[in-house]
Amino acid sequence: MNKVISKHNVTITFSEISVKMTKILLACGVVAGPVYLIAGLAQAFTRPGFDITRHDLSLLSNGDLGWIQVANLIITGLLVIASAVGMRQALHEAMRVLCPGGRLVVLEASRIIWPLLYRVYLLYMRICIPVIGWIATRGDASAYKYLLRGMENFPTAEEFVQELASVGFTDISFERLSFGIVAIHVARKPY
Look at residue 13 and tell me if it is in a domain.
yes
* Element (DSSP H or E) covering residue 175: strand 170-177
Q: Is residue 6 part of a domain?
A: yes
Q: Tell me what pLDDT residue 145 has.
A: 66
Q: Does 131 fall in a domain?
A: no
Q: Count of domains in the chain? A: 1
Question: Would residue 92 count as lying in a domain?
Answer: yes
Residues 6+ apart with CB under 8 A from 100: 189, 190, 191
Give the domain extent around 93: 1-97
Cα-to-chain-centroid distance, residue 24: 14
pLDDT of residue 169: 95
120 domain-assigned: no
What are the pLDDT digits (tens) for 145-155?
A: 666 666 666 67
Between these two residues, 112 and 175, which has the higher pLDDT value? 175
Q: How confident is the model at residue 5 (pLDDT cuts 50, 70, 90)?
A: very low
Judge whether 183 lies within some domain.
Answer: no
Q: Please report whether residue 90 resides in a domain.
A: yes
CA distances from 64 to 3, 38, 69, 78 (A): 51, 20, 11, 23
Q: Distance (Å, rounded) from C-alpha 127 to C-alpha 116?
A: 17
pTM attached to this predicted model: 0.59
Q: Is residue 126 part of a domain?
A: no
pLDDT computed for residue 68 by the predictor? 92
